[in-house]
Amino acid sequence: MMRMTISLKILYLPSIIDNGIEDIVYAGLNKLDNVEIYEYPFKPLYHIDKTEQRHELFPVSPWFKQNGRDENCIYRSFDDIEFDKFDIIIVGSLNRDLLQYIPRIMKLAPDRTVYLDGGDDPFIRLILKDAALYFKREKLSSFNISTMSHYKFAWYFKKLMVDAINYGHHTFPLPPLRSLMSLTLSLNLTVIAHQFSAREEKDIDVSFILRTRSSPLRQKYERVVSNLAKEKNLNVYVKTDGLDWKSYTDIILRSKISVSLPGEGYDTYRYWEIPYYGTCMISPYLPLAIDNNFEDGFSALFFKNEDEFSTKVVKTLKSGEYDQIGKNGKLWFERHHSDVKRAEKVIYHTRDLLL
């Protein structure tokens, strides 16, 4: 965990709905030492108490324990906020309910405001071109025109915008983690760990859980997995329609290898969830800038084409290496990609703002 010698006072502006970046960073910040976090507007999800099935995702902060539920949000309106009392202002997302505040924030605290954008919208970034810090869901590390054959043009145009616009050194990638399934059940990975334990014996050779409409690439590998199962007599699980969360996690836990493929974006929740559950993930190489990414053959499997996919699956199943790769992936996730690590990344990049 990052050690800070000064106390950092943060104003956090969350949206009213669950958000895979906003909620995870908030959770991690509350677990860091020497951080005081205050929020506006009030987000009920963050303040469910123990008697209402509160989960470890959002631990009750010392300030909250002292002041109680009704006073958790110390400001009753945006006009009451005393911006000069905070070291950093974090806008948790760029959802519609928060957009109303952004023009005023840019005038009141332009040099101390951090924007988290789970929507990954390049046109929003144009508006925020002078933002002190901007974290987006995906940041391309390379450009491959052939990828356009696999994705909707409108979606890929958005990715092209990322490279076409000079965002400068104040833009950083920050992948989301799934945050909420319903009003009462948190979906964050650290919570699910308490509900599902790793299986010592895995009875599914390969699983692939997908929504076929999300990309032609997924449709292609649905056929690849099915054909491989017939050729090599493998026990596979391919699911193309909805699964409840318990069934979804149970399938991953039972799998020796589980497939993660891009859908409407390169980054997917399964890219993080499969390693977290201690299962060996296989994924195509992604053209994304990912700090401390998983390593091929050590904490995950990566492939370039259909032949390499099939070869690595068969080889890994035959050797039994999937077990150690799955364990390494889980440890790597916990070491580099937990809610605390994401929060530490945000704080780390704010260091220049505090000088």
- Please state, as a whole number, how many other Cβ atoms lie within 10 Å of the Cβ of residue 110: 12
Please state the rounded mean pLDDT for residues 216-239: 93
Q: Are residues 238 and 119 in the same domain?
A: no
Instruction: Please give the Cα distance from 113 to 115 (Å, whole number).
Output: 7
Q: How confident is the model at residue 139 (pLDDT cuts 50, 70, 90)?
A: confident
Query: Which has the minimum average pLDDT: 166-175, 196-205, 241-250, 287-296?
Result: 166-175
Q: Is 120 exposed, middle or buried (0-12, 13-18, 19+ CB in 10 A)?
A: buried
pLDDT at 132 (0 to 100): 83
Q: Are residues 343 and 330 in the same domain?
A: no
Q: Would you say residue 2 lies in a domain?
A: no
Q: Are residues 311 and 244 in the same domain?
A: yes
Q: Are residues 21 and 59 in the same domain?
A: yes
pLDDT at 103 (0 to 100): 87
pLDDT at 181 (0 to 100): 31
Residue 226's domain comprises 189-336
252: its two tokens: 């991953």
Q: Would you say residue 184 lies in a domain?
A: no
Q: How confident is the model at residue 183 (pLDDT cuts 50, 70, 90)?
A: very low
Question: Which positions ≥6 away from 31 have C-beta within 8 Å?
Answer: 59, 339, 340, 343
pLDDT at 350 (0 to 100): 87
Q: Would you say residue 3 lies in a domain?
A: no
Q: Are residues 28 and 118 in the same domain?
A: yes
Closest CA to 114 of 341, 353, 336: 353
- Please state, as a whole number, how many other Cβ atoms lie within 10 Å of the Cβ of residue 44: 10
Q: Are residues 158 and 17 in the same domain?
A: yes
Q: What is the pTM of this model?
A: 0.82
Domain count of the chain?
2
**Span 242-297, pLDDT tens digits:** 777 778 888 999 999 999 998 777 888 899 999 999 999 999 998 888 889 999 99
Please state the rounded mean pLDDT for residues 207-217: 79
Q: Would you say residue 1 lies in a domain?
A: no
pLDDT exceeds cutoff 80 at 148: no
Q: Are residues 321 and 350 in the same domain?
A: no
Using CA atoms, how far residue 341 sits from 108, 141, 337, in Å, is: 29, 21, 6
Query: Which has the minimum average pLDDT: 155-164, 213-222, 257-266, 313-322?
Result: 155-164
Q: Are residues 100 and 208 in the same domain?
A: no
Q: Strands, DSSP E only, in the chain?
A: 8-13, 35-39, 88-91, 113-117, 133-136, 171-173, 204-209, 236-239, 255-259, 280-284, 301-303
Instruction: Please give the Cα distance from 222 to 259 (Å, whole number).
Output: 10
Query: Which has the minimum average pLDDT: 15-19, 27-31, 57-61, 306-310?
Result: 57-61
The CATH code of the domain that includes 312 is 3.40.50.2000
pLDDT at 55 (0 to 100): 40
Please state the rounded mean pLDDT for residues 131-138: 82
Q: Are residues 145 and 240 in the same domain?
A: no
Q: Are residues 25 and 172 in the same domain?
A: yes
Q: Are residues 119 and 258 in the same domain?
A: no
**Span 39-50, pLDDT tens digits:** 888 887 776 554
Burial 87-108 (b: 16+ CB within 10 A, else e): bbbbbbbbbeebeebbeebbee
Q: Are residues 53 and 153 in the same domain?
A: yes
Q: Would you say residue 61 lies in a domain?
A: yes
pLDDT exceeds cutoff 70 at 214: no
Tell me the DSSP string of 106-158: HHH-TTSEEEEETT--HHHHHHTTT-SEEEES--BS---GGGGGGS-HHHHHH
Q: Would you say residue 126 lies in a domain?
A: yes
pLDDT at 122 (0 to 100): 60
Instruction: Please give the Cα distance from 87 to 8 (Å, whole number).
Output: 6
